[in-house]
């Protein structure tokens, strides 16, 4: 009986995903992993395992090499930068993700961050908690320009929500022109997007070309009143450069759902910077998105074990 490791923290023994996998003739092992994952813990968890349903566990070449039975890895999400794809290919391990599975959740959350930043909601609530009664002006989204960096499923889902608030939307993307559709978006070079946007929202995958793309030179091109939103991957942003830009007034602020190291380290340069708010990687974490991701991940895992993977990335 093939054995499946499940590390995604919201999946539990006896839930519908577990029932689905067991009904497919698989033995399940749950080792919930949150926070910083120790490679040795991963190696131990993968011992004797044929397939794995994972979140953001760092499946490095070293870890994968010590899991000789492993044949299939399925991410219960979209990004797969925590997995060494090339090493998995060399070792004969198929890797799948679930493209677009939480796009609506991420889009709604992005608008939530935009509203929170525009109306200074966190500042107001923390001020009241501290005994004050903050009354500074906020800003309306209507008439503002939103710049989207990347045009995958989540970014596309943001567009109608932003336009419903009366925002103009511009985008920088590598998606070919013929595949973009007609969503009322103006596509511009990255430098122009930085210059014209009141809010810049990151939706690109983490690759060698996007790692650190928001550096000091990028922030220098942005409006001093602009706000950065990141629901993609933390490493797309140079965090020290961001902290410096906000602290010195180069840009107005940032709302970050993702950071380079999660949970946020105590010595992070993002801590203690007025105008930067860090959230705990919640964009895709709705009850609906979690259920959909769990079931779709289980279905992809079963299909992959049978040689019918639909969303393989390697």
pLDDT at 296: 98
Q: Residues 85-117: pLDDT tens digits? A: 999 999 999 999 999 999 999 999 999 999 999
Query: Which of the residues in the chain have pLDDT under 50?
Result: none
pLDDT at 38: 86
pLDDT at 140: 98
Q: Residues 41-63: pLDDT tens digits? A: 999 999 999 999 999 999 999 99
Cβ within 8 Å of residue 236, ≥6 positions away: 202, 204, 206, 210, 211, 212, 213, 214, 230
pLDDT at 182: 83
Residues forming the active site? 233, 262, 281
Q: Please list the residues that pair with 42 across neighbouring strands.
A: none
pLDDT at 183: 84
Give the predicted TM-score (pTM) of the model: 0.94
How far is 135 from 45, CA to CA, in rounded Å? 52
Q: Residues 120-142: pLDDT tens digits? A: 999 999 999 999 999 999 999 99
């Amino acid at each position: 009986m093939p054995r499946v490791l499940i590390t995604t923290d919201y999946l539990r023994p006896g839930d519908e995903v577990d029932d689905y996998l067991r009904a497919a003739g698989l033995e399940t092992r749950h080792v919930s992993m949150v926070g910083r994952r120790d490679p040795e813990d991963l190696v131990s968890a993968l011992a004797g395992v044929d397939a794995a349903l994972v979140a953001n566990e760092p499946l490095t070449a070293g870890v994968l090499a010590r899991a000789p039975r492993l044949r299939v890895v399925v991410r219960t999400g979209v990004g797969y930068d925590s997995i060494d794809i090339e090493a998995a290919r060399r070792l004969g391990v198929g890797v799948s993700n679930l493209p677009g599975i939480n796009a609506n959740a991420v889009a709604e959350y992005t608008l939530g961050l935009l509203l929170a930043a525009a109306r200074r909601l966190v500042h107001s609530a923390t001020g009241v908690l501290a005994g004050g009664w903050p009354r500074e002006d906020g800003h309306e989204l209507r008439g503002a320009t939103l710049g989207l960096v990347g045009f995958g499923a989540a970014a596309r889902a943001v567009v109608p929500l932003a336009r419903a608030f009366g925002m103009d939307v511009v985008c920088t993307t590598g998606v070919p022109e013929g595949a973009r559709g007609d969503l009322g978006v103006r596509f511009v070079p990255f430098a122009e997007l930085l210059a014209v946007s009141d809010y810049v929202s990151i939706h690109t995958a983490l690759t060698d070309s996007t790692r650190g793309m928001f550096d000091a030179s990028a922030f220098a091109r942005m409006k001093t009143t602009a706000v950065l939103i990141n629901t993609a991957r933390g490493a797309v942003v140079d965090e020290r450069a961001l902290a410096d830009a906000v602290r010195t007034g180069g840009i107005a602020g940032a709302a970050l759902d993702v950071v380079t190291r999660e949970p946020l380290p105590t010595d992070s340069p993002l801590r203690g910077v007025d105008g930067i708010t860090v959230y705990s990687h919640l964009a895709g974490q709705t009850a609906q998105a979690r259920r959909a991701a769990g079931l779709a991940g289980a279905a992809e895992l079963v299909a992959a074990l049978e040689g019918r993977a639909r969303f393989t990335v390697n």
